[in-house]
Amino acid sequence: MRIAVCLSDTKPEPWLEALQVALPGAQVQLWSPGLAAADHAVVWAPPQQFVDEQSRLKAMFNIGAGVDAIMKLRLPPGLQVVRLDDAGMSVQMAEYVCHALIRHFREFDVYESEARQGRWVFRRPLERADFPVGIMGLGVLGERVARAVRQFEFPVLGWSRTPKAIDGVRTFAGEARLGDFLVATRVLVNLLPLTDATRGILNRTTLSALRPGGYLIHIARGGHLVEEDLIPLIDSGRLAGATLDVFQQEPLPAEHPFWRHPKITVTPHASARTLRRETIAQIADKIGRLERGEPIAGVVDPARGY
């Protein structure tokens, strides 16, 4: 069995070594043009040339949660694209969202500013009931985040393309219920996959539909947010602010106004990082299942794009 590894912008050597240990019976090789045909591939943002040359692949395993870079390529019929189920990312996402949510709700950003000025000022406590948290995207990551937020006794809502049921979460499904979800939400968390249907979904119209004082926590893909719509909504008072981890262009250019806006917190696509050990264990297990003719989770539906 041959495994081809193609990792753009990622140091490949640790992955090659660990995959070989996890799959001792396989021949694990770093891809370069002209490499012999492989049975499976482990990739991150592979070029079209890789896909064209490796036309006999049974499955292509992505080492990140989002597969939008792969789905933009011309893929051969029958190729299974497999995304990570979790591999340690969901708890990181939950940490990030809870930190951003609580920092905003408890006004710790205001306390930080006042502390720098040497001011000792108490803030009036706010009511959790006035801060319903709406989570867009209820897959493995979204569900984990919803359950974490629920532990802090905020009202939690969720919206997904298809119906989902999560204990303690008020769920909405489909385009017809998106408006109902937004008007009931004050803190909006975006965890949607990026597809043609979701590109630009965070825009002046949708963000204006949030409850007064709305706040955005954006940790999915930069293509979801119409960036030029955000600052006018904040400056007008329609939104209270935002925490942003993903952007249309990454790294975020130094001249971008998001860096300097006092009500926008920027992090460098750090809400969740791929954990190599967990990821390789998951991929190795799934390759073994495929070779035995068993079904696996995480296979991308080409029609949906995730």
CA distance readout (Å), 287 to 16, 18, 60, 179: 15, 15, 10, 41
Q: How far is CA 39 from the centre of its chain?
A: 28
β-strand pairing of 40-44 with 27-30? unpaired
| Residue listed under structure tokens 């008020």 | 170
Residue 104 near residue 241 (C-beta atoms within 8 A): yes
Residue 50 near residue 282 (C-beta atoms within 8 A): no
Round to whole Å and give the CA distance between 286 and 298.
Answer: 10
Residues with Cβ within 8 Å of 13's Cβ and at least 6 positions away in sequence, in order, are: none
Residue 189 near residue 145 (C-beta atoms within 8 A): yes
Query: Which of the following is catalytic: 186, 269, 273, 304?
Result: 269
293 phi-psi bin (left φ>0, alpha ψ -120 to 50, beta other): left
β-strand pairing of 239-244 with 169-173? unpaired
- Known catalytic residue: 74? no
Query: Which of the following is catalytic: 40, 144, 161, 221?
Result: 221
- Known catalytic residue: 124? no
Residues with Cβ within 8 Å of 102's Cβ and at least 6 positions away in sequence, in order, are: 108, 152
Residues recognised as catalytic? 221, 269
